[in-house]
Amino acid sequence: MTDAAMMKAVIFRRYGPPQRLSLQEVPVPRPAPGEILVRVRATTVNRTDTATLRAHPFFARAMTGLLRPRMQTLGMDFAGIVDGLGDGVTAFQSGDRVFGLLPERFGAHAEYLCLPADGALAHIPGDLRFDEAVVGEGAWYASSTTGLLSEGQRCLIYGASGAIGTAAVQLAKSRGAEVTAVVGMRHLDLAKRLGADRIINYEDEGFTSIAETFDLVFDAVGKISWFTCRRLLNQNGIFAATDLGPYWSNILLGIWFGITGSRRVRVPYPENAPEFVRYLAELMAEGRFRGVFDSSYPLEDIVEAFRFVETGQKTGIVVINVQ
Ligand SMILES: NC(=O)c1ccc[n+]([C@@H]2O[C@H](COP(=O)([O-])OP(=O)(O)OC[C@H]3O[C@@H](n4cnc5c(N)ncnc54)[C@H](OP(=O)(O)O)[C@@H]3O)[C@@H](O)[C@H]2O)c1
């Protein structure tokens, strides 16, 4: 009997702060029938990872494990090389460069991972590097809101400098919407580069006093509420947010407006990750979507990366390079 091949993976066995994470040697997983084995070259630390590590909000434990996490390795985004195929896989070959998402199972903070060949993955378009292809998490969350837009509609994206906000501007533009981006001073140029039609600095302009109304106001960083910006909404305008809002107001208002039938406040949850990743690959191949990257860390320094992401100050995406 041969010894199982080993790999490095970032393990956590209890919810809590980043120091609960430790780099350990564990067996390389084996692809089951219909699965592929990916050698991970890049992943990210994002707000889903940090929230899951701390089990925040508390009710998320219903999905991730009540007392202890069901999964032991976080990491939702990956880019890497196909290194093994389970029985019956024909869509990929060993050596293919792929990227994708692991929304339910996580597991990308490791040297290898397995996932179903029909899961949320696609070939990396063109000559994009691995660290340029780990763009899924923020874009997937953004897509659940930008999917509400149609050609010619007007939207305001508040906090257009985070992972979700930078993706939201590009996805809204790709749907033909007119975009007003609200960002801090240091991100004005970034919002312009992403294609925003109008840019407002939240530090020196009261964005709620502009004389315009929108079909959609999207709070991409969980900092405003329907109460502060309802006058920016046109008659059928929707307020959508990535977060629960103060005192869970977004959830409660969402339920209330759902009962009244108007659905004016929403906290959309993204769906159908496999289809979205393939759509994102098309957008990237056409040069209509590019990730915005803040900084990168080696896998060994992942605790530091978690600490930084938890500050809520990153611009776009924080990459982990896995050698
Ligand atoms: N529970 C979950 O599983 C989950 C998952 C994903 C996302 N989310 C939520 O979705 C939100 C966005 O996630 P993300 O990954 O896109 O965030 P992020 O990348 O961490 O967002 C950071 C950006 O927000 C900007 N920002 C901070 N305060 C701001 C303010 N008052 N007004 C406008 N911009 C501000 C920062 O720029 P400056 O401060 O320099 O202006 C920074 O560029 C977060 O609230 C997160 O909790 C939740």
In the reported structure, the alpha carbon of residue 96 is separated from the centroid of ligand 1 by a whole-number distance in angstroms of 33
Mean per-residue pLDDT for 267-280? 95
Q: Whose CA is nearest to atom 18 of ligand 1?
A: 162
Q: Give the tokens for residue 107.
A: 């597991």
Distance, CA of 256 to chain centre: 27
Has residue 4 got a pLDDT over 90? no
The three-point CA angle 308-313-23 to 5° equals 20
Backbone angles phi, psi at 104, to 5 degrees: -90, -35
What is the structure's pLDDT at 209?
87
Q: Quick one: tokens of 19? A: 């120091």
What residue's CA is closest to ligand 1, atom 34? 159
Taking the CA of residue 311 as reference, the ligand 1 atom at the shortest distance is: 20
Cα–Cα distances in angstroms (integers) from residue 163 to residues 22, 151, 177, 294, in the given order: 25, 23, 19, 10
Task: Kindly report the protein residue whose alpha carbon is nearest to atom 19 of ligand 1.
Answer: 162
Q: At residue 112, does pLDDT exceed 50?
A: yes
Mean per-residue pLDDT, 33-61: 96
Q: What are phi and psi for residue 29, nearest 5 degrees? A: -70, 155
The model's confidence at residue 2, banded by pLDDT at 50, 70 and 90, is: low
C-alpha 14 – ligand 1 centre gap (Å): 25
Q: With respect to CATH, is domain 139-266 assigned 2.70.70.10?
A: no
pTM (2 decimals)? 0.96
* Band of pLDDT at residue 20, cut at 50, 70 and 90: very high
Report whether pLDDT(76) > 70. yes
> Does the structure show a pLDDT above 60 at 1?
no
Give residue-wise pLDDT tens across range 241-270: 999 888 888 999 999 988 888 889 999 889
What pLDDT, on the 0 to 100 scale, is given for residue 35?
98
Judge whether 6-135+291-321 and 139-266 match in fold.
Answer: no
Q: Does residue 166 line the site of ligand 1, with CB under 6 A?
A: no
Domain ranges of the chain: 6-135+291-321, 139-266
Superfamily of structural domain 6-135+291-321: Medium-chain alcohol dehydrogenases, catalytic domain (3.90.180.10)
- Cβ of 220 closer than 6 Å to ligand 1, yes or no, is yes
